[in-house]
Structure 1
Amino acid sequence: MQNYYLAVDIGASGGRHILGSIYNGKLQLEEIYRFENGLTEKDGHLCWDLEILFLEIQKGMKKCKEAGKIPASMGVDTWGVDFVLLDKEDKVLGAAVGYRDKRTDGMDAEVYGIIEEKQLYNRTGIQKQIFNTIYQLMAVERTEPDILQRAASLLMIPDYFHFLLTGRKVQEYTNATTTQLVNPITKDWDYALLDKLGTKNEIFQKITMPGTSLGHLSREISREVGFDCEVVLPGTHDTASAVLAVPACDDDYVYISSGTWSLMGIERMEADCREESRLANFTNEGGYAYRFRYLKNIMGLWMIQSVRHELDDQYSFAELCSMAEKNSSFSSIVDVNDQVFLSPENMSQAIKDYLEGTGQKTPESVGELAACVYNSLAKCYGEAVEEIERLTGRTFKRIHIVGGGSNADYLNQLTADYTGKEVCAGPGEATALGNILAQMLKAGNFASITEARNCVYDSFGVRVFKNRKEGK
C-alpha cells in the first residue's frame, strides 16, 4: 500500500495542499488543492484572516478524501515572525496583524532602550528586521497593553493551525527562532531576555523539533474532513522546509530559497553571533535537526510580484522574464533591500523614484522595469556571496536555488553571471517537499538527511547555469 504525506504550504499570497509519496524509489508530488491568501485592512492594520485560512486547510484535506488518497500524516508550514495571542479560553485576542504592517515603526528604538542592539544580536544571533516578533510584541505592549495582560498563550501562525487540528500547543523550533527571542546555545527561549522586556514567560510554549508527532487529528476535525491521520511537525518556517529539500550531499554550496523573499546562506552546526555577522546583517535561524541557517534576507521576488499585480496580472512570470531578457542592456540598478520596497503603495513607482533619486535612467517599458528588478536581485546575490565567503573564510563552488524562483531561468543565468558560480536550479516545490521530507524522516522512509536529499536529486534533478562573464 502506498503511503501519502500531506504538506499544507501557506505563503503570503496563497497556499497549496501537496501530497508526497515514494514510487519505485522516486519521490512523487501531487497538488490536491490551491487557495489564495493575502493581507486585508482591518481597523487600520494589515491582517491575516486566520478563520478563512483554517477553512481552506480543511477544504484541501477534504479533497484528499475525495481523491481516495488519505495521508498517513500531515504538517503545516507558513512564513515566520507573525503570531496569535490567545486568552484563557483559547480565543484569539485582537487581530492577527501581518509583518508588512507599519505598527512596528519606531519599535526598534523602544527595544534598544531596554537592551542594546549589539547585545540582542549576541544573545539571539537573529538579524534586525523591523517586523521580527520582538518588535511586534513591543508594538502590542505600547498600543494595546490590555491584550498582553489578558494573553494566556502565544502561538506562531503554523503552531496555531496545528493547535486547531490537534488541540496541542507547542512552538516549533525553526519558526520560534524568527522571533529574535530564542537562545542559539540552549535552543530554548531566552527567559532572561523576556524578563528584561517585561514579557510574561508563561505565554510561550515548549519549543519542539521538526519531526515530532503531535498525535492525531481531533475527533471534531476528523469528522469534518472525513478521515484521521497523524500530525507531524515539519520545519514550520517555510525557509527551513525549503532548505531541507536542497538536493546536495556535501556542504560546498550556498543556497537561495527563492520566493517572495530570497533567503541566501549556508547551513552550520553552530550559530555565528559575532559583531561582524551583525554588521553584515546575517541571521542564524533554526533549521532541521538543530542546524542553523546562516543567511541573509533579501527582498526577493516580492518586487516583481508587485509589479505584475500593478499590471493587472496580464503577464505571466515567464513572460516578464522573457521581456527582461530582451531588455538586458538596461543597466539601472536599485538596492532591493532598501526599506522603500518593503510595502510601497506602488512598487513600479517606488523603483522609478529610487532610480531618479540616484541619478539613474528610469525604465520606459515593462521589459526595462523587469530587467531592473532581476539585475538588481542578481547583483545583490553576488554581493551576498562575497560576504558569506569573507565571513566564513571559505570559497563555495556552486549555488543551489530552490523554490518558485528557481523556475526563472533568466534570473538563474544572471545569478551565475553576477556571482561567478555554477548555479543549480530546482526543485521548484522545495518548501512543500521539505515539509514532506520531515514527515518521511519521522516515518522511517529515509535513514538520514543525506539520504533524503539524494532522493530529491534522483527524483527531480537540477538545471545548471554557467557564468558567462570572464574574469569572475
Structure 2
Amino acid sequence: MKKCYLAVDIGASSGRLIASHLEDGLLKLNEIHRFKNGIVQKDNQFCWELDRLFAEIKKGIKKCRDMDLKPESIGIDTWAVDFVLLDEYDNPLTNSVAYRDSRTDGMMEEVFKSIMKERLYFETGIQFQKFNTIYQLYSIKQKNPEILEKAKSFLMIPDYFNYLLTGKKANEYTNATSTQLVNAFTKKWDHEILDQLEINKEIFQEIHTPKTVLGNLTENLIAEFGFDMKVILPATHDTGSAVISVPELEETIYISSGTWSLIGVENHFPICITKALDYNFTNEGGIDYRYRFLKNIMGLWMIQEVKRNYHDHYSFAELVDLVRQVQGFTSTVNVDDPRFLKPENMIEEIQSYCQETNQAVPYTPGEVAKCIFDSLVCSYQQAITEIEEIFERNFEKINVIGGGCQNKMLNQFIADATKKEVYAGPIEATAIGNIVSQLMALGEIEDINEARTIIKHSFEVKKFLPTPIITH
C-alpha cells in the first residue's frame, strides 16, 4: 500500500478528502472523495448535518483502502465559530445550529451591556460579527439556559469530528480564536469574559496548537477501516490552513476566496488598537502563534445563492460569460450588509438594495452577477486601503487563494481596481495547508519556511497585471 497523508477539508458548500505525498521534493495531491454540504432546516433553525458529514469522512477513509493507499495521518479543517455542546454522556445536547441562523439577532448588543465593546476587542482582537461563537452561546444562555446548565463539553466542529475519531477532547487554537473568547495575548480562554457573561468555563477544553498529534483512531474505527493512523491537528479553521499555503507573504496581501472572502496579512503580534477596531479587523490565530490580521468580507456566497435562485440554470462559468457581455452597468451593493447573510431570495435582495439607493436595478443574470463581482472588488479595495493605513506602508502584491482564485475575470477586476499585481493560486490552498501541518508534526518538513518553499514549487500560480490605461 502506498503511504499518504489525508486532509479533510469541509467548507460551507462542499467537503473533500485529499490524499497527498511528497515526491522528488514536491507535494502531490489526489482527491479521494468529494461530497456536498449545506444548511438544512431542523426545528425551525438552520443547522448542519454533522452525522452525515462524519459518515462522508468515514466513506472517504474507506476509499483509501480500496485505492491501495495507507494514510499515515489525517487532519480535519472546517469553517469557524460553530460548535457542539455535549452532555455528561458525551451526547450532543442540540442540533448543530449554523452561524447563518437568526438566533444571534440582537445578541451582540446584549453582550455589550455586560462587557464594553472596546474591552472585548482590546482583549480578544476579534472582529465583531453577529454570528461569533460568543453571541451564539449568549443566545442559548438567554433563551435556553437549561442547555448550558447540562453542558459538560464545548467542542467546535472539527474538534467534535476529532473526538469521534479518537475519543479525545481538545480545542484547537486557530478555530478557538474565532469564538471571541480567547485572549489575544495569553492565547488561552479568557475566564474574565466567561465569568462576566456567566458562562461555565469548565466546559471548554485545553487549547492545543496546530501540529499537535492528538492520538490514534479508536479501536472500533481501526476494526472498521482495517488500519490505524494518527489524528493530527492542522489549523482546523480552514482560513488558518489556507493562509499557510500563500507562497510568499513579505510584501503580499492575501485574499482567501470562497464562500467568504478573508482579506489580510500575516503578522507576528496582535494589533488591538482603536483604528483596527473602528475598521473591524480581526486578529485570528495562525500557525506558530502567528496572527491573521484580516477582515471577513461576504464572498462568493452571494453568487452561489444567485445561481441557486436561478434554479442552477447557469453554471458559474456561464454567469461569468454573461458578465463579460454587460455594457455600462455600474450599480454596487454593500456586500457586508446583514440583509445578504441569509435572505429569502438573493436576487430580489440585491434589486431592492439598488432601488433603495437610487441606483440602476439589475434585471438580467449578467447584470446581477456583475453587480456582485463589482461590489466584492469595491469591498476588497476598501479593506486594502485600511490595511495600508494601519501598517503605514504599501503592499505591492495580492495573492488570491482557494476555489475563488479560478475566476480569471474577478482576478483581473481586482488588479485593475487596486493597480497591484494579483497572483492566483494555489486552488486547494486549505487542503495543502492542512497537509503540510501534518508533515511538520511528523518531521517530514522542518518548518513553515520549508513548507512554503515546497508549496511554491509544487503548484501553479497565475499572474494578473493591471490593464494599462490608454490615453489619446
**TM-score of the superposed pair, with normalisation by structure 1:** 0.98
1:433 aligns with 2:432: yes
Q: Over residues 140-176 of structure 1, what are the superposed CA-to-partner deviations in whole Å (9 max), with x where a residue is unaligned?
A: 0011100100100100000000000001100000000
Deviation at 1:3, TM superposition (A): 3.2
Deviation at 1:469, TM superposition (A): 5.4
Q: How many residues align?
A: 470
Spell out the pairing of 1:14-413 with structure 2 (5 A cutoff). 14-248=14-248, 250-327=249-326, 329-413=328-412
User: Match of 1:421?
Assistant: 420
1:12 aligns with 2:12: yes
Asked whether the 8 Å contact 2:2–2:69 carries over to 1, the reply is no
1:464 aligns with 2:463: yes
Asked whether the 8 Å contact 1:252–1:396 carries over to 2, the reply is yes
Q: Over residues 373-392 of structure 1, what are the superposed CA-to-partner deviations in whole Å (9 max), with x where a residue is unaligned?
A: 11111111111111000011
Letter of the 1:289 partner, please give it.
Answer: D
Separation in 1, partners of 2:242, 2:321: 26
Which stretch shows the higher mean deviation, 204-213 or 322-331?
A: 322-331
Separation in 2, partners of 1:88, 1:16: 32
Q: Residue 38 of structure 2: SS of its match in structure 1?
A: coil
Asked whether the 8 Å contact 1:421–1:467 carries over to 2, the reply is yes
Q: Over residues 99-148 of structure 1, what are the superposed CA-to-partner deviations in whole Å (9 max), with x where a residue is unaligned?
A: 00000001112101100111110110001100000000000001110010
Separation in 1, partners of 2:70, 2:436: 17
Asked whether the 8 Å contact 1:2–1:22 carries over to 2, the reply is no
Letter of the 1:443 partner, please give it.
Answer: L
Deviation at 1:273, TM superposition (A): 0.7
Separation in 2, partners of 1:242, 1:99: 21
Separation in 1, partners of 2:10, 2:226: 22
The sequence identity of aligned pairs, in percent, is 51
Separation in 2, partners of 1:35, 1:267: 31
Letter of the 2:445 partner, please give it.
Answer: F
Q: Residue 189 of structure 1: SS of its match in structure 2?
A: coil
Letter of the 1:459 partner, please give it.
Answer: S
Deviation at 1:326, TM superposition (A): 2.1
Deviation at 1:400, TM superposition (A): 0.4
Q: Residue 84 of structure 1: SS of its match in structure 2?
A: strand
Q: Gaps (5+ residues) in structure 1?
A: none
Q: Over residues 75-116 of structure 1, what are the superposed CA-to-partner deviations in whole Å (9 max), with x where a residue is unaligned?
A: 110000000000111010011110000000011121011001
Separation in 1, partners of 2:332, 2:106: 29
Deviation at 1:238, TM superposition (A): 0.4
Separation in 2, partners of 1:115, 1:237: 26
Asked whether the 8 Å contact 1:270–1:292 carries over to 2, the reply is yes
Separation in 2, partners of 1:161, 1:168: 10
Asked whether the 8 Å contact 2:2–2:70 carries over to 1, the reply is no
Separation in 1, partners of 2:272, 2:3: 42
Q: Gaps (5+ residues) in structure 2?
A: none
Letter of the 2:464 partner, please give it.
Answer: F
User: Match of 2:445?
Assistant: 446
Asked whether the 8 Å contact 1:322–1:410 carries over to 2, the reply is no
Q: Residue 349 of structure 1: SS of its match in structure 2?
A: helix
Asked whether the 8 Å contact 1:420–1:469 carries over to 2, the reply is no
Deviation at 1:225, TM superposition (A): 2.1
Deviation at 1:52, TM superposition (A): 1.0
Deviation at 1:221, TM superposition (A): 1.2
Separation in 1, partners of 2:272, 2:469: 36
Separation in 1, partners of 2:397, 2:326: 27
Deviation at 1:192, TM superposition (A): 1.1
Q: Over residues 311-334 of structure 1, what are the superposed CA-to-partner deviations in whole Å (9 max), with x where a residue is unaligned?
A: 122222222122212225321111
Q: Residue 298 of structure 1: SS of its match in structure 2?
A: strand
Asked whether the 8 Å contact 2:126–2:178 carries over to 1, the reply is yes
Q: Residue 262 of structure 1: SS of its match in structure 2?
A: strand
Letter of the 2:438 partner, please give it.
Answer: Q
Separation in 1, partners of 2:319, 2:24: 38
C-alpha RMSD of matched pairs (Å): 1.2
Letter of the 1:30 partner, please give it.
Answer: N
Asked whether the 8 Å contact 1:4–1:19 carries over to 2, the reply is yes
Which stretch shows the higher mean deviation, 160-169 or 329-338?
A: 329-338
